Structure 1
Amino acid sequence: MTVPIGHTNTVVVGLDGSECALDAVRWAAAEAARRTATLRLVHAELPLPAEALDRSGAARQALHEEAMLWVQTAILAVDEVAPGVDVQVRVEVGSAARLLEEESATAAVVVVGSRGLGGFAGLVLGSVAVALSCHAKCPVVVMRGDDAAPDGPVVVGVNGAPENWYVVDRAFEEAEARGTELVAVHAWRPPLGTARIAESVGVVWSELDTVREAKVAQRLEACADRHPGVEVKRHVVHGSAAHRLLEFAEGASLLVVGARGTGGLTGMVLGSTSQALVRHAPCPVLLVRPGLAEQIEHA
């Protein structure tokens, strides 16, 4: 597993008592076992409203006891999926997004559910993922897809951005670790309203497809040398990148895309393609933030 420089080989997973979070725990446990990594369960207890007078501490104690029950349930789930994995636990009062962002400073990867309860209550779908994609110091996995195929291929979106090299290389690494093939997808839209004009001047879209295929092949070859055992299938298709990636992700074990974002934990912005995939993908989504490019150590 590619680990940002100065980080530890630890898989962090957000826990909040929801079924979606338990799915994230199971996935993270299997990932930790695959990578011989430590698994760290993290839960953010809800802060009490300022107007809540809890002089006896009973309310806080009740919330903490509930949290520890969720932790015990998560540990049982880990034992079922990956017995023997080293498990650590962190339970604190605070914001889930901020706590997981803090954890990302030393983790190899952070895993979160796409929706939740408890410590993630009140957050809209994907908001924790958006926060982490903007500010996490490591890649983030958002659990998606009840019917994801563990042995399915790894799918990656390929584009011409310079930082996409790191996304593609991470996808190669994930496919290599899983012993599965890599499906590389480049989607583009011929300029609307120009098909007739293009035909009149002798431009054929298939010729432009060929040019793009060559560029995609060049990008893949740059990473393939580092991962010679990975079988690659590449596709250059027309249409929305989000829509076409969702199609190819059916039956996949993982979808790898770049994420970009600005702003604080409020006013967050996640790229439209990434946001659509976080909301609708049929399998887990690995978000690789461009800002991490300078931190990644190539083994």
Structure 2
Amino acid sequence: MTVPIGHSNVVVAGVDGSESAQRAVRWAAREAARREAQLRLVHAELPLPADALDMTGMARSALHDEAMGWVREAFAAAKEIAPGIDIQVRVEVNTPAWLLEQESRTAALVVVGSRGLGGFTGLLLGSIALALSCHAMCPVFVVRGGESDSDGPVVVGVNGAPENWLVLDRAFEEAEARGTALVAVHAWHPPLGTEEIAAAVGIAWPELDAAREARVEQRLASCAGRHPGVRVERHVVHGSAAHRLLEFAAGASLLVVGSRGTGGLRGMVLGSTSQAVIRHAPCPVLLVRPGLAEQMEETG
């Protein structure tokens, strides 16, 4: 497994005491062991309201004690999954979005649950999601689905956007690390009237699909050359990108998508496709920010 330029080999897991976050910690421990990386458990203690009276510090102390209890549980869960990994802990009074963004600047991966309590409530569906999708400097792994570490394929969406290269390359890396196949899915909606126009000029639907399959093959070829051991399945299908990706994700070990795209994957993080994937994916989801490599080069 490669680590992006400018990032240390650290996997960060958001901790908040919820069962979803506990699953995220266990997944993060597996990822850290797989990558031979360090695991960092991070919890944001929310600041007290400005009008809160805490002259003795008892309220702050109670919140801190609760936070440390959650962190101890997370630490024990991570050690149970991967006894040999090195674990660090960061507990700080701050906002979750800021803390995770700062951690992403030196992390290889940030792992979070699909829902949470305390400082991570609404993660990836509210303001924290917007902050991470716009500012996180590493991929974000959203834990969904069951508890088992599935050996199913890695599924990735393919489109014609230039930034899709980064998404595809990361999907190949994940499939290679897991020793599993990569399922590449390109979903498209034929324009209204295309069937009639195609028939009028003597072009059959299979020929239109074949043309798209050729473009998908070309797009995958470069990544495949860097990962020759990964078996690739290519699918060009009609319909909604969200629906088709969710269908192919059944039984998958991971679904990899970009934070924005064109064609069938437009608006991946903030639009209907992203909402469907985050809310309904039967497996973990890896969000890869397009343009991240260029940003790292500029700030490196």
TM-score by length of 1: 0.92
In structure 1, stretches of 5+ residues that fail to align are: 262-268
Cα distance in 2 between the residues matched to 1:110 and 1:123: 12
Question: Letter of the aligned partner of 2:25 in structure 1?
Answer: V
Question: Letter of the aligned partner of 2:220 in structure 1?
Answer: L
Question: Letter of the aligned partner of 1:144 in structure 2?
Answer: R
Residue 240 (1) aligns with residue 240 (2) = yes
Question: Letter of the aligned partner of 1:248 in structure 2?
Answer: F
What is the deviation of 1:243?
0.7
Residues 133-148 of structure 1: matches in 2 within 5 Å?
A: 133-146=133-146
Residue 72 (1) aligns with residue 72 (2) = yes
Q: 2:210 — aligned with what?
A: 210
What is the deviation of 1:108?
0.4
What is the deviation of 1:167?
0.6
Relative to structure 1, the CA distance from residue 245 to residue 115 in structure 2 (aligned partners, 3 Å threshold; closer, same or farther) is: same
Q: 2:120 — aligned with what?
A: 120
Cα distance in 2 between the residues matched to 1:60 and 1:41: 20
Q: Is the 8 A contact 1:259 1:271 kept in 2?
A: no
Which structure exhibits the higher relative contact order, with contacts defined as CA atoms closer than 8 Å and separated by 6 or more residues?
A: 1
Q: Is the 8 A contact 2:190 2:238 kept in 1?
A: yes
Question: Letter of the aligned partner of 2:231 in structure 1?
Answer: E
Secondary structure of 1:162's counterpart equals coil
Question: Letter of the aligned partner of 1:61 in structure 2?
Answer: S
Q: Is the 8 A contact 2:26 2:81 kept in 1?
A: yes
Q: Is the 8 A contact 2:23 2:147 kept in 1?
A: no
Q: 1:264 — aligned with what?
A: none
Q: Is the 8 A contact 2:124 2:130 kept in 1?
A: no
Relative to structure 1, the CA distance from residue 174 to residue 123 in structure 2 (aligned partners, 3 Å threshold; closer, same or farther) is: closer
What is the deviation of 1:119?
1.2
Relative to structure 1, the CA distance from residue 204 to residue 127 in structure 2 (aligned partners, 3 Å threshold; closer, same or farther) is: farther
Secondary structure of 1:234's counterpart equals strand
Cα distance in 1 between the residues matched to 2:169 and 2:142: 19
Of the structure 1 ranges 276-285 and 106-115, higher mean CA displacement relative to structure 2 is found in 276-285
Q: 2:37 — aligned with what?
A: 37
Secondary structure of 1:112's counterpart equals strand
Question: Letter of the aligned partner of 2:215 in structure 1?
Answer: K
What is the deviation of 1:273?
2.2
Q: 2:51 — aligned with what?
A: 51
Residue 260 (1) aligns with residue 235 (2) = no
Q: Is the 8 A contact 2:115 2:122 kept in 1?
A: no
Cα distance in 2 between the residues matched to 1:170 and 1:122: 26
In structure 2, stretches of 5+ residues that fail to align are: 262-268
Question: Letter of the aligned partner of 2:142 in structure 1?
Answer: V
Q: Is the 8 A contact 1:5 1:295 kept in 2?
A: no
Cα distance in 1 between the residues matched to 2:90 and 2:250: 34
Cα distance in 1 between the residues matched to 2:116 and 2:82: 23
Cα distance in 2 between the residues matched to 1:286 and 1:45: 26
Residue 292 (1) aligns with residue 292 (2) = yes
Residues 96-245 of structure 1: matches in 2 within 5 Å?
A: 96-121=96-121, 125=125, 127-146=127-146, 150-245=150-245
What is the deviation of 1:296?
6.7
Q: 2:28 — aligned with what?
A: 28
Q: Deviations over 1:19-66 (max 9, x none)?
A: 000000000000000000000000001111111110100000000000
Of the structure 1 ranges 213-222 and 189-198, higher mean CA displacement relative to structure 2 is found in 189-198
User: Identity rate of aligned residues, in percent?
Assistant: 76
Relative to structure 1, the CA distance from residue 148 to residue 195 in structure 2 (aligned partners, 3 Å threshold; closer, same or farther) is: farther
Cα distance in 2 between the residues matched to 1:19 and 1:78: 14
What is the deviation of 1:126?
5.8
Q: 2:2 — aligned with what?
A: 2
Q: 1:266 — aligned with what?
A: none
What is the deviation of 1:6?
1.8
Q: Deviations over 1:260-294 (max 9, x none)?
A: 39xxxxxxx72442332112111111011012032
What is the deviation of 1:200?
2.8
Question: Letter of the aligned partner of 2:277 in structure 1?
Answer: L
Q: Is the 8 A contact 1:187 1:241 kept in 2?
A: yes
Question: Letter of the aligned partner of 1:186 in structure 2?
Answer: H
Of the structure 1 ranges 139-148 and 91-100, higher mean CA displacement relative to structure 2 is found in 139-148
